[in-house]
Structure 1
Amino acid sequence: MKWLLNIGIAAALISLSAAPVIAQNKETEMNAIAIPAPLDALVSVVNGGDTEGYLALLTEDSVVDDNGDRYVGKAEIKTWSDRELIGAKGVMTVQGVETHGTEIHLIADWKSNFYTGPGRFIFTLRDGKISEWRIRAI
């Protein structure tokens, strides 16, 4: 399966370096996936169970939309995370990255005590931080 990888637009909009991440696709070929730095950091802190590190990646007015349930601001997002993200021992394995205008999509496998399955994680960045994160099961 080929992954659409076009971070040029996002890189032009946000001056960020991308860190390579290794992921396996269904054909078990190894592919280097370039993930914008704030999202690479997000995967690391979530997988490492670091709540404070996670919250530091968000803008003050950040929004998380988890399949239609909206959480606005760091206090609401922390309550959600304590239940469904970091508190649920979540682990995200990135399979691909896509850009759609100013949005960056991570296609990933998600495993936690709360929910397990494939997901599309849609991010909007502002000033090097996550201003919006929409989560969609696929």
Structure 2
Amino acid sequence: MTSSTLPEPVARLIAAANAGNTDAFLDTFAETGAVNDWGRVFTGRDAIRAWSDSEFIGVGVTLDVTAEITTREHATVTAMVGGRGFNGQSHFSFTVANDLVTDMAITA
């Protein structure tokens, strides 16, 4: 699914993940940004990098967005997740401020 309604930082984050580009992925986050992966929270770029290296980009994640809901500061996407880790449908919620992701939450 290609969409022009996702906030630019979210679109960049998804593109970076699909390209396997950890640095570009991290550059989408605010310095105090956080990832909430099913209740486990990783705050700051160093913690997000460690999480991503073992559970996201490090396992070749792919995100095929199948649906989205976007408001001014929030976006929720449904994606089919592929790679060598979790595979299947997940929901990703994003909060954006100042052209950066401040929060990414992953749920069922």
TM-score when normalising by structure 2? 0.92
Closer, same or farther: CA 101–128 of 1 in aligned 2, 3 Å: closer
1:33 aligns with 2:3: yes
**Aligned equivalents of 2:75 and 2:14: distance in 1?**
14
Q: CA deviation at 1:33?
A: 2.8
Please tell me whether the aligned partners of residues 33 and 96 of structure 1 are also in contact (alpha carbons under 8 angstroms).
no
3-state SS, counterpart of residue 65 of structure 1:
strand
**Aligned equivalents of 2:60 and 2:88: distance in 1?**
14
1:65 to 27, 36, 39: 36
Q: CA deviation at 1:36?
A: 1.9
Q: After the TM superposition, which parts of structure 1 deviate over 4 Å for at least 4 consecutive aligned residues?
A: none
How many residue pairs match? The answer is 107
State the structure with bigger RCO (CA 8 A, min sep 6), 1 or 2. 2
TM-score when normalising by structure 1? 0.73
Please tell me whether the aligned partners of residues 73 and 97 of structure 2 are also in contact (alpha carbons under 8 angstroms).
no
Residue matched to 2:53? 82
1:136 aligns with 2:107: yes
- Correspondence 1:17-32 to 2 at 5 A: 23=1
